[in-house]
Structures are given as C-alpha cells and as structure tokens.
Amino acid sequence: MKRFGLHLLWNSCTRGLVLWLLRWFYPVKQGRVMFVSWNGAQYNCNPRAIAEAIARDTKALESFEPNYAFVNPDKFPDVPAQIHKVEIGSLEYYYLLATSQFIVSNIRFAGIYFPYKKNSQAYIQTMHGGHGIKRVEFDAELSADYVKSALEDTRRTDMMPSDSRYWTNIYRTAYRYTGEVLEVGLPRNDIFFAPNYIKDDLRQQVFETVGLDDENSNIRLLIYTPTFRGNGRRDVYGFNVDNVIQALETRFGGQWHVLISSHPNMRSYYRDIYDFSHPQTHDVGTYPDLQELLVVSDVLITDYSSAEMDFSLTKRPIFQLIRDLADYDRGTYISPVDLPFPYAENDAELVQNILSFDEKKYLSDLEAFNRDIIGLNETGHASEAVIRWMLEKMKS
C-alpha cells in the first residue's frame, strides 16, 4: 500500500481515537509485521536482524509482509526493497500498526505508540541488549511515568528472545515478565556467526566510513564503547590514546586505530568528551549499527556496557576501564572484578593489562564464565528461531 500522505496531529488523543476506530473496523492481516527500532529513530538491533532474515528468505516472504517504521524514512535508503518503509505519524502507519499480526520493537513501545492491542496481535519485545552487569529496569531507579509505561508494555508482551539462562532470569525479575521466552540467542548477534565474506564486506564498509584503507591488512581496530551515566558524569570517559595504542602495538603488533562509539543516551554530548583531532581516533558515535562495528574490531575497551558480552562471542580481547565502581549510579548484578575481562581503574592499569594479556587464560576463563555463570546459548540462528515462532503463531 502506498503512503497516504495525510498526517495526523501527533498527540495521545488523536492517536488513541484513530487506533480505536481502526481496531474495530479493520481486521488484522495474517503475516503482516511492523518493525521499529528506537521509536523509529534508527534501523538496527534485533528488529533489523529479524526483518532482514525475512527479506533474504523467499519462502518467508510468501508468509510475511514486513514493514519498518521510521520518523524519517528517507534517512534510511539501505533498507532492502522487500521491507516496506512507513513514516511514523502518517495515517498509513496507524493503519499498518492496527492491522499487523506482529509488532516487533527493541525498546518500550506499547504504552507510547500502541494503546490498543487486539487479541489476534502478537507483540515481540526484543529489547536492545543482552546479558550484562549493570542493573536494568525495575532493579534501577525509574521515574513514575516510566514505571507505568514499562508495566503496560510488559503486560502486552507475548514473547521475548533471550541469549542465556542469566538473561531469562533478568526478564523474570527486573522486567516483571512472566510470559514466553525464546532462549535461542539474540537476533542481532547472528552477525557474529556470519560467513567470512560477509564480515569482509562489513570491514570494507566500516573502513570506508572512517577513511581507512581496507586493503591494508596491517591495520587493526580498537573499539571503545562506554555506557551512559544517569548522573551525567563525564570525567569517567576516555583514556590516553597514544599510550594505549603503543601498548596494543607492543603486545599484538599491527597498526592500531581507535573507534569511539556512543551510547544513544550520550549522543547529545559525547563529542564534547573526546579529542577527535588525533589522527588515529575515529568518531563512530552515529554509525547506524554497533554490532557491525564489533564484528570488524580486534579489541574492545568498555565499562559496564553489555557490548562486552556481545563482543566476547568473537573471543577477541576485552579490557575493562572503570573509574567509578564505588559510586556507579546504576549498580551491578556482577562485580566487574569477577568478569573474565581484565579490569582497570586507571590508564596505567589498562596499559599494563594490555601488555600482560594472557590469551590462553582469557579464553579458559571466558568459557567457564559463559557456561557456569551465564548459561549462554547463542546459536547464530536466533532470527530464524523467532521467524519459526511467528509461523507457529500464525497456525494457532
């Protein structure tokens, strides 16, 4: 269906009225799917992985009609032609939302854009991270408005994919979710198991983005992915780039460049924190898909971010740099010092950890951690498993 071109006043009253009318007068269409990432601001994460898995599968396209919602669809020209783009706020968006059999989101969605859910609709809440150490949802401090929206979102959820026994338990406690969990891995992490030719293409894409020669096999990438602080602290970020690069070159060889990423909650100020004038430092804070950056990187430095758990699927070195453990405002489920990743509180310790990195011990500790503490179950086929779940739902 083509875009109607008519836009509605973006407020809860209009939205509620239109969806209420659509709820009663338009039936759900079997196989129609509405995907949305970060409330339409991005095209990435678990919804993208599932949508593109459908788009690649001719047989799946016989069963599904994938739609992807964006605030500004024109900003995303790389969406496959098999996936229909729709503008949030348009009448078409409301119509497709009200008539989709499946709604897939990676953040809380139901209470904001989805006030009426039919019994014949299934809401898949993938969230935007897997198992990690920082406290989340009801285990962290939340505003009253968010609590209300989160509880409503959880009440409407029909399925959540999980990467581990650990993360499933977090769903039950921190998310207050009692429904079905598909413990098959996270769709967005399927990329770590992709064939080498796909990873090579991603390497070329990332290198072109930051202006590096992808034919230079001696170039290696360090990616830095700290998470946000609710208290707004900025003094906890960054490190001496020259010292870290020198340590990496001494321990691992190669010619190192640093990619600096940004949590979405830091987008408004992260450029004020880092010195991007350094010739070996590259700003990837607005790169559309963090997983692609992780796949092509050789080493990760982070703090409390769950990106370290995703990156660990590569079995490449991970180093923690945490300057505020004593007063971190979110709190942690597992102390960072108990992780299999070398822990540092300052630059000197970070450099020493790089120079003394013991790969054999690291891999042994990582395997034991994933097996005994996390109960990891990443298969590389999570998107396919979610699609199978959807197909079974269509039969019921």
The span from the CA of 283 to the CA of 298, in Å, is 17
Q: How confident is the model at residue 51 (pLDDT cuts 50, 70, 90)?
A: very high
> Is residue 6 pLDDT above 50, yes or no?
no
Classify burial at 42, counting beta carbons within 10 Å of its beta carbon; exposed 0-12, middle 13-18, buried 19 or more.
buried
Which two structure tokens, joined as six digits, stand for 257?
A: 């460049």
Average pLDDT (121-148) is 89
> Is residue 2 pLDDT above 70, yes or no?
no
The reported pTM is 0.90
Q: What is the mean pLDDT of the chain?
A: 91
One-letter-per-residue 3-state SS of 181-227: EEECCCHHHHHHHCCHHHHHHHHHHHHHHHCCCCCCCCEEEEEECCC
Please, what is the angle between helix 12-25 and helix 91-99, to 10°?
A: 50
| Lowest-confidence pick of 65-74, 113-122, 328-337 | 113-122
pLDDT digits (tens, 9 = 90+) for 354-393: 999 999 999 999 999 999 999 999 999 999 999 999 999 9
pLDDT digits (tens, 9 = 90+) for 246-299: 999 999 999 999 999 988 888 888 888 998 999 999 999 989 899 999 999 999
Residue 12's pLDDT is what? 58
Q: How confident is the model at residue 111 (pLDDT cuts 50, 70, 90)?
A: very low
Residue 146's pLDDT is what? 85
Q: How confident is the model at residue 110 (pLDDT cuts 50, 70, 90)?
A: low
> Is residue 79 pLDDT above 90, yes or no?
yes
Handedness of CA 52, 54, 57, 58 (dihedral sign): negative
The span from the CA of 188 to the CA of 171, in Å, is 18
Greater confidence (229 vs 280) lies with 280
Task: Say if residues 132 and 309 touch (Cβ distance below 8 Å).
Answer: yes
Residue 303's pLDDT is what? 95
Residue 113's pLDDT is what? 57
Q: How confident is the model at residue 18 (pLDDT cuts 50, 70, 90)?
A: confident
Residue 4's pLDDT is what? 46
| Lowest-confidence pick of 32-36, 114-118, 188-192, 193-197 | 114-118
Average pLDDT (148-165) is 93
Residue whose structure tokens are 């070329």: 204
> Is residue 22 pLDDT above 60, yes or no?
yes
| pLDDT above 70: percentage of residues in the chain | 94
> Is residue 179 pLDDT above 70, yes or no?
yes
Cβ density class 106-142: b for 16+ within 10 Å, e for less:
bbbbbbebbebbbeebbbbbbbbbbbbbbbbbbbeee
- Residues forming a β-bridge with 29: 100
Q: How confident is the model at residue 140 (pLDDT cuts 50, 70, 90)?
A: confident
The span from the CA of 170 to the CA of 192, in Å, is 23
Task: Say if residues 69 and 79 touch (Cβ distance below 8 Å).
Answer: no
Angstrom CA distances, 24 to 1, 39, 99, 154, stand at: 20, 25, 10, 24
> Is residue 34 pLDDT above 90, yes or no?
yes
